[in-house]
Copies of this chain bind each other. A is one copy, B any other.
Amino acid sequence: MAEPAPALVRKLSRFAAMEARERAALEALLDRPVAFPARTELFYEGERDCAAYVIAEGWVYSYKEVEDGGRQVVNFQLPGDFVGLRGMLLGVCDHASATLTGCRLVAIDRDRWERLLTDFPRLGQAVLWAVAHDESMLVEHLVNIGRRSAYMRTAYLLCEFGHRLRVLGQCQGNEFVCPVGQAILADALGLSVVHLNRTLRKLREHGLVVVRGNSLRVTDFQALVEATGFAGDYLR
């Protein structure tokens, strides 16, 4: 193992205590992540028998394109998250995915994966739990886009990032960096780039965020949480 405890292992451990054998088997599969540069397309919508990945390091985003040229970012994946699992299960990708930052990813071999889950059914349970958890975030994203104003919507998404990063230990104090450009953020929030920019300006004026180069720094996570009433129940 390159690192002490892969993020996926830590994530699944939070769900159910893992025996040494289970842990070892999982870690064996997560060995040797391979590096991908930023902005690399991992697979496209409609692709068949596409690979699935687990993120060891970096940010990935998944999106769908729409008839009129628009694009909707469906979700963001962080270390320990699956990418393209649904595509592997269904045999066809219903969305595309690409790296946002430089990443280290582990490709999942379908057969080895299935063998792992049949050999260690409790791991299967844990994975099912992780999938349900992802779906929960998807639902929250849906609610966010469907029912909240641009300002709240943006603030909520940033709160989710903060929460997830904190769990990963990548948000120490009251600050964190989110390496997502405004174009992609806008596509995630169902907003135009221009309007997202104005929305960020308001957040900036309220002293909540700072824009710097190609990334966004949340400077007062606590205040953001209070402003939105973000509970994060759906993140357990």
Residue numbers of A with Cβ under 8 A of B are 46, 64, 66-67, 70-72, 74, 85-86, 89-90, 92, 94-95, 118, 121, 124, 128-129, 131-133, 135-136, 138-143, 145-148, 189-190, 229, 233-234, 236
Contact = CB atoms under 8 A, between A and B. Distances in A.
A190 B72 contact: no
Contacts of A148: 66
A90 B132 contact: yes
A97 B17 CA distance: 31
B89 A139 contact: no
Contact of A145 (B71, B94, B138, B190): B190
A85 B135 CA distance: 11
B234 A147 contact: no
Contacts of A138: 135, 138-139, 142
A136 B229 contact: no
Contacts of A118: 121
Given A72-B142, A94-B233, A138-B139, 7 more contacts: A46-B233, A64-B140, A72-B147, A74-B143, A90-B136, A92-B233, A124-B124
